[in-house]
Every structure is written in C-alpha cells, then in structure tokens.
Amino acid sequence: MNIQLLKPKFEGEMSLEESIFNRKSIRSFKDKEIEIEKLSQLLWAAQGENLSKRTVPSAGAIYPIEIYVFLKKKGLYHYHYKKMLLKREIEENPNENILRQLAQYCLSQNFIYEAPLNLIICVNYPKITRGYGERGKRYALIEVGHCAQNVHLEAVALGLGSVPIGAFRDRKISQLLRLPEDLDPIYIIPIGYEK
C-alpha cells in the first residue's frame, strides 16, 4: 500500500544553528514508529520541492538522485517528490526479514535493524554522465552529500537521531532491494528515536 505524505512545514521549533550544534551519530533506536508528519518532513528535506525549487542543489539541475525508504514492518518504498508519495516496492515479509539482511549486508551493523526508518540514497550515474562525462560522478556524489546533510539536520530538528552509513556490499544491497540496474546505492541513513 502506498503512503501519501503531508505537505512540508517551513518553520520549525529549532534553528539551523541548533541543529548543526546538536547533530551527532546515533546508533541505538527505540522501537517506535516515526510519525507521518516527521517522515514527510525528512523526505522533503532530502529531495523535496517548493514551487520550481528543490531542497538540494544539482549540477545542471539534472537531479540523478533517487530516494528509497525502508520502513520497519512495512517494507521498501520509492519516494516520488512531485506527488509527495511513497510508492511501495517490496512488502516486508516476516519470513524473509529483508531488514535483517540489510543490516547484515551493511557489515552487520545491527542498529540498522533497530531503526524504524532506513533512508537509502541512490544515484543514477548514466543520467548525469551523459552531460558531464566522468566528472558527472563527482557532481553526483557532491549532491548526495548535500542531500544527506539535509536529512541529518532535519532529523535533529524533529527530535530524531540518525547515523551515516557508507560501509556496505553494494551489489548485495542492490539485489536485496531490487533496485533498477541504472541505480547505485551510495548512502544509507538509519533514523529513529534515540534509545
């Protein structure tokens, strides 16, 4: 079942400076689902839109990033920013336990399994290298950094914790999540309430 997200709020309770000051890596999460308002806000920060502007700069406005979200007990979703919609890609099956496998393929970082939300930032390299050649790969990775920092700071502003994960078996993750062939997983961000 798809999830309709809510419109973002443009004013929060915490300043940007406070978010920067309070950001830290959290590796222990409560077994508590993230509210739809907070989930919506996180995804908007990652790759949202306000009129014709996007929340993250992109070389040549190509936007080669795709965001996937694994919600514990629900499954894998693909974020569609224009519709503010999470489209279900894989339903979590307790017999398969994809989330446990995700943690395993991230070099057994088991807090990934604890987190109610794992945000997966992927890049479509062919999309950006068509215009920029090999240098497009660098531009894409810079964009991933912008996106991830927005997510981490928004998490703090929402009273959530997060941690950046770059250590994982790329091919195994792609196969597990059944990602399209033109997408490479670059960054995984577990998010939740700190234990």
pLDDT tens track for 108-144 = 999 999 999 999 999 999 999 999 999 999 999 999 9
Question: For residue 138, is it within any domain?
Answer: yes
* Separation CA 65–CA 68 (nearest Å): 10
What pLDDT is recorded for position 110? 93
User: Residue 16 above 80 pLDDT?
Assistant: yes
- Among candidate residues 76, 6, 88, the one with its CA nearest the CA of residue 41: 6
Can you say how many angstroms the Cα of residue 157 is from the centroid of all Cα atoms in its chain? 16
Question: For residue 6, is it within any domain?
Answer: no
Q: Dihedral of the CA atoms 153, 159, 55, 90 (nearest 10)?
A: 110
Q: Which amino acid is at 94?
A: P
Q: Residue 54 belongs to a domain with what CATH number?
A: 3.40.109.10
Question: Which residues have a Cβ under 8 Å from the Cβ of 13 and sit 6 or more positions away?
Answer: 157
What pLDDT is recorded for position 95? 61
Please write the tens of the pLDDT for every residue from 147-181: 999 999 999 999 999 999 999 999 999 999 999 99
Locate the DSSP E strands across 20-137: 49-50, 53-54, 65-71, 75-80, 85-91, 117-123
* Separation CA 73–CA 100 (nearest Å): 11
Q: How far is CA 38 from CA 6, 98, 118, in A?
A: 9, 24, 14
Please write the tens of the pLDDT for every residue from 89-114: 998 776 678 999 999 999 999 999 99
Question: For residue 1, is it within any domain?
Answer: no
What pLDDT is recorded for position 80? 96
For the whole model, what pTM was predicted?
Answer: 0.95
Buried b (16+ CB within 10 A) or exposed e, 112-149: bbbbbbbbbbbbbbebbbeebeeebbebbeebbeebbe
Query: What is the number of structural domains in the chain?
Result: 1
What pLDDT is recorded for position 159? 97
What pLDDT is recorded for position 94? 67
Taking a C-beta distance cutoff of 8 angstroms, is the pair 154, 42 a contact?
yes
Question: For residue 4, is it within any domain?
Answer: no
Question: For residue 119, is it within any domain?
Answer: yes
Question: For residue 19, is it within any domain?
Answer: yes
Domain range holding 91?
A: 14-192
Question: For residue 39, is it within any domain?
Answer: yes
Question: Which residues have a Cβ under 8 Å from the Cβ of 34 and sit 6 or more positions away?
Answer: 42, 116, 117, 160, 191, 192, 193
Question: For residue 86, is it within any domain?
Answer: yes
What pLDDT is recorded for position 53? 85
Please write the tens of the pLDDT for every residue from 35-81: 999 999 999 999 998 777 899 999 999 999 999 999 998 999 999 99
